[in-house]
Amino acid sequence: MKRIGLFYGKSTIKTATVAEKIQKAFGEPKIELLSIEKAWQKDFGAYDCLIAGASTWFDGELPSYWDEIIPVLNTLNLKGKEVAIFGLGDQVNYPDNFVDGIGILAEAFEAAEAKLVGLTSTDGYRFNQSKALRGDQFAGLAIDIENQDEQTDKRIRDWVGKLKKEWR
Ligand SMILES: Cc1cc2nc3c(=O)[nH]c(=O)nc-3n(C[C@H](O)[C@H](O)[C@H](O)COP(=O)(O)O)c2cc1C
């Protein structure tokens, strides 16, 4: 059975809530939740499949705990592992940096040679610019609790459904 580790910030409350929802929606095999505040570089290597989640703060930057991990990630070799990314943002108040954190994480994991999975359509979101864009898709799952919370559960369900097929 595949081991799946989800890395997220415990101190970012909404991100933590989304992480728990993803774990619940996934069911079996049970995703292990790991707080990035306590994660060490060897922890990424312990899993076959990775999920990484962060909100975007400070006009297009990652919350500080992830900021410290990014330089470490760049030195790792995660070849053969797949990574799916989710991010939280606010498209109304930050339309020029919407969920930039997804793009920053995607770039860091790709630098470590992990394969990115779980890209999603931008349909249904309105924003000007985002580092999360890969062509006409987001490089992961974008969640906007401030403006579209009624869609959060369905977005998580659909994304998790895709990941379960990938990681069967
Ligand atoms: C000071 C501040 C800066 C923010 N900057 C951005 C941003 O650049 N892009 C974005 O999409 N969201 C931005 N947001 C919105 C947050 O990402 C959003 O509120 C998210 O739900 C917070 O989740 P968290 O509690 O897990 O950190 C910002 C929020 C705050 C308070």
Give pLDDT tens digits for 102-137: 999 999 999 999 999 999 999 999 999 999 999 999
Residue 88 Cβ inside 6 Å of ligand 1? The answer reads yes
42 pLDDT exceeds 80?
A: no
| pTM of the predicted model as reported, rounded to 2 decimal places | 0.97
Residue whose CA lies nearest to ligand 1 atom number 16: 89
- Residue 2: pLDDT over 80: yes
Residue 67 pLDDT grade (very low, low, confident, very high; cuts 50, 70, 90): confident
Residue 61 Cα: closest atom of ligand 1: 8
- Cα distance between residue 68 and residue 70, in whole Å: 6
Distance from the alpha carbon of residue 89 to the mean position of ligand 1, in angstroms? 5
120 Cβ below 6 A of ligand 1: no
Per-residue pLDDT, 82 = 97
Instruction: Determine whether the shortest distance from the Cβ of 10 to ligand 1 is under 6 A.
Output: no
Distance between CA atoms of 37 and 167, rounded to whole angstroms? 26
State the pLDDT confidence band at 54, using cuts at 50, 70 and 90. Answer: very high
What whole-number distance in Å separates Cα of residue 25 and Cα of residue 45? 24
